[in-house]
A and B are shown apart, each in its own frame.
Chain A
């Protein structure tokens, strides 16, 4: 009897262990090449045109107050319909014949893409966090919610739900772990899962088609076009292909640039709940059209645009994936940008006033614009695949690159320090900024501190002998309270002239040295520069200065200039100067630190020099 019971238990255990895993399970084995190939074949990529059912390029704005969906014909900028959506708490997503969004009260809500009228709504599950919604051209919708029991992030459960075009639930699956915002196609939904997985599921039935494990990275960004599905993280992008298992073991397609502070945010982060709604992330991205390349993902025409708030920077990429900045465009303070999208040769972007503009990716020219709508907008969704801007006679060329970068760096708008830093770094890399431009940057009162510092660094690093007249002209500006003038950039100019050993600068620099309005820091720079030039003409002014201020308590804290002058007298002077130095050491009124310095100088000079090998 006992043995039969034991056998029965073992049999039940055996049966339970052989039970197949549910359709979406955390332990499903990834990287089955056969399954992946079949799943990819099943994907119907988006067509080269817009995803909405009208077939026309559409731009859906979200009005600010009250929140209103405003559909605009992208080609003309004319309003097609308006629909109040006062409780909208997500971005609008185009799915075939609908525009879908999350409503705070009714849940997931669909508007007719032709009229804007509400067609259906689906309530959200209580206590679930909405992670985003994605639509397919055939009208199917996928959305993900996340549930953390008692706020526990370790045991969170994600739910993926597929709705039909009419809003009926086709299927819904739960899985332990975190899912990101899915990417929906007509036949397959691609779900980022637990950071490193990409799961492909059938949209018609709850069936996992394939799973890909990205061993060295994450799936943060995803985008689809008629050329494929592209995914990746900040390291770069992959193209989903049958050999993806091999591809992901290699480095992704990416670009590098010598410019610091360039953020490679290839798309919205699919795991970040902030991106479910419109936010500042819309205007901090890398704009490019991804296409199929020899090694997977590639950039259309090897170009991309960095969009940072109200600034655009256009790059070209060479065969070594090195990106070079080609142009920069800045918008005035009054213009607030709310979203942008790359479409092959063009970048389309929308402003808060409801107007749409277009830049040519290759040159930065503004080739097209629409009139503002009399509404304040907070966000925008583009459905403009395949769109080219109507030909316009009003083409506006961008400012020369250096001018544009300088303008960005000097922009009095203090909201975007990151963009300014990027522009300053870009100025350093772009180079070619002549002495005149650097001096202008240095002396312009509107220049930011960072820009001035950068210009100073460049001038000191690359002193140009041809710029001497310009350097001297800055130092020769008179100290004049009435005219509000004074010598400009004294420290930098003195350092540059010192490194160039410009003897004709000595009289000007000596005049500055003797002037009472010269600051302590400027004194130090002038002294060091004059010492570097090594002209004997400095001996008398240095001696007079040293004697005049040797006992002045104003120099007690910052004695460097006096010490340097003593050093200069010691090096360049004769017996008379030695006598002066001896007097300084012997007179008790001399500042103690100066006395010590001179004494040390004397002591060290008496030490025997080591023999040269």
Chain B
């Protein structure tokens, strides 16, 4: 266990080196959030009906989504080093080490994501909290909501990483893996609530989405913070997150194990 924590630490520290490079990225994300909120505001103001989510909760959802984007995204850019190792054949060196490929990648991915998120979340949260109402990030609904927010944030991170690991394991079987990854990424975006928050999606579609592993990623934490997910429904979501972590990790390890046994390294 200690060596995998070491991988986490190294990757985390490497990630922290990119301090200056992310200012442009921060501005982008910040403007992105502003535009999204402005659009929702126009929609809320034009609507006579009771919206399915309080505006303050929605604004918090959007800001936290931007702040912790690095934790939950499944784009090509994240975990770039793991991916290039598969592509350029260096995976052969990784296999020589007396460690589990799956656990090492898992630790590295968690470390890299935490580092980027740690760098980005502070400025975004501070600036978003200073913005005037209704654009600003409000305080969490309650102390308990905040505690559960932190818990579900990390559970969601583990679900996301476990899902990505499963994808990496599958890509070990193919020669050019970007295509498969692009397809899965395309599918995940909507299903994880990155496009619109789940409360805007009518039943029964919403019920199905909440049960899927993608619904256990960012959706839970972002809604717990603003109080849009609370009580028994929230506890159910937490159990679902734990369930999906277990299932995805078991599946990922099985696929990874199979791939390791019959790996073909193409030149390099």
A, B in one complex: no
